[in-house]
Amino acid sequence: MDHLVVVGASLAGIRAVEAARRAGHEGAVTLVGAERHLPYDRPPLSKAFLDDTGCEPADPRFRTEEHLHDELGVALRLGVPATSLDTGAKLIGLDDGAELGYDALVVATGGAARTLPGSEGLSGVHALRTWDDALAVRAALDAGARTVVVGAGFIGSEVASAARKRGLSATVVEALPVPLVRSVGEDMGRACADLHRDHGTDLRCGETVDRLESAGGAVTGVRLGSGEVLPADLVVVGIGVAPCTGWLEGSGVTLHERDRGVVADATLRAADGVYAAGDVVHFPNHLFDGEVMRLEHWTTAAEQGALAAKNALDPGAARELGTVPYFWSDWYDSRIQFVGRPSADEIRVVSAEQGDDRFLALYRRGDRLVGTITIDRPTQIMKYKRLIAQRASWAEALEFAGVAGEVSRA
């Protein structure tokens, strides 16, 4: 293998180039990024980055340009989105008209935040996906914006938390009757709703957005389906992410029929010489009996980036990925942590049975523990992650949680 190209200057991208060098790859490495920025870390952007600390937020970039260039020998093509891929000729088309050949390719183009129709070009309306998004949201909060968040998911909820921490008004508009009900279940969704309400965030569930109100090109409010208008100087739209794969259409890489994410095998291989990593990829996870999943989690992107590069450089020795998904989210002064998979035959809310207000729920599939969610139980969550990785039985999980032998609630 001579030339490794990584498209996507992301966490998965940086882990890919680092893993390639650690694995002894001595050929050329090129890292292509759509944004002008060096690879940077996203989790802080909706957390500490938005806090009013009186000083500049920490620089989210992983590595300096000198480090990438001199230590890792990586050629950078930043601010140049990939526009096409020819897997036969092994050529990547770039937005500036250049063509880039490769011997091995890692696709790590991630996703783009979904937008609200009619929000294009309106100032005061932002997603929170990129560093530039975060700078804009932070500046609006610095200016004391009345904040409306569309979507009570994790990103939107972190923005609401940041606004309330600063003493600003925050309203969250959510179409579902209970926030996050599809991703974590009804009881946990209610616990999340309580966190918002306990901290003075106005949570509107079962409510749709009719349109954005504006004056002079700036947003002034959000008109709800009910007709009510919520005044706003800042609207943050957190309604999910769509994989960035337009450049792969017609390339021979299979794209998922639902969301156009890259379809890969368990070794993250998507086509001959092409491997994929991060938010962009659907892969069968052997720790969950081959269940195909696309994860938008920091830890998975880090693992997949490294594995995709190693497998791309040595396909004969390719390893399969088995991983326990993990995410965390910081709301107000609480930390939500989830390990495993949320789709389950049963969700047992152990904390309710034990009369403990720090939420703990276990997710059962068949006879196996497949997921655990906690609020403010930092010393416990990773012990459940290990149980899931070890394919612990439901009985073992209940025993560990201290509810062994008790009859489950219906």
Partner 1 sequence: MGLRIELDESKCSGLGLCEAEAPELFEVRDDGSLAVLDATPSDEHREACEAAIASCPTEALRLVES
Binding-site member from 102, 283, 288, 328 for partner 1 (CB under 8 A): 328
CA–CA separation, 301 and 11 (whole Å): 6
Binding-site member from 1, 205, 293, 302 for partner 1 (CB under 8 A): 302
Binding-site member from 275, 326, 359, 394 for partner 1 (CB under 8 A): 326
Check binding of 396 to partner 1 (CB under 8 A): no
Show contacts of 90-93: CB within 8 Å, 24+ apart. Answer: 90/273, 92/5, 92/7, 92/32, 93/247
Number of residues engaging partner 1 in binding (CB under 8 A): 19
CA–CA separation, 174 and 103 (whole Å): 46
Check binding of 21 to partner 1 (CB under 8 A): no
Binding-site member from 112, 239, 266, 382 for partner 1 (CB under 8 A): 382
3 state SS of 163: helix
With beta carbons less than 8 A apart as the criterion, state whether 61 and 39 touch. Answer: yes
| Amino acid at residue number 183 | S
Binding-site member from 258, 379, 407, 409 for partner 1 (CB under 8 A): 379
Rank residues 217 and 379 by Cβ distance to partner 1 and give the closer one: 379
Binding-site member from 36, 69, 386, 391 for partner 1 (CB under 8 A): 386
Give the nearest distance from C-beta 383 to partner 1 in angstroms: 8
Check binding of 306 to partner 1 (CB under 8 A): yes
Binding-site member from 36, 378, 404, 406 for partner 1 (CB under 8 A): 378
Rank residues 273 and 322 by Cβ distance to partner 1 and give the closer one: 322
Convert 206-234 into a string of H (helix), E (strand) and C (coil): CCCEEEEEEECCEEEEEEECCCCEEECCE
Residue 305: CB atoms within 10 A of its CB come to 30
With beta carbons less than 8 A apart as the criterion, state whether 311 and 319 touch. Answer: yes
Residue with tokens 């490294």: 306
Rank residues 200 and 378 by Cβ distance to partner 1 and give the closer one: 378
With beta carbons less than 8 A apart as the criterion, state whether 294 and 282 touch. Answer: yes
Rank residues 267 and 329 by Cβ distance to partner 1 and give the closer one: 329
Strands 125-126 and 147-150: unpaired
Rank residues 18 and 174 by Cβ distance to partner 1 and give the closer one: 18
Check binding of 381 to partner 1 (CB under 8 A): yes
Rank residues 44 and 73 by Cβ distance to partner 1 and give the closer one: 44
| Amino acid at residue number 116 | L
With beta carbons less than 8 A apart as the criterion, state whether 121 and 217 touch. Answer: yes
Check binding of 367 to partner 1 (CB under 8 A): no
The residue ranges that bind partner 1 (CB under 8 A) are 41, 43, 298-299, 302, 306, 324, 326, 328, 335, 337, 378-379, 381-383, 385-386, 389
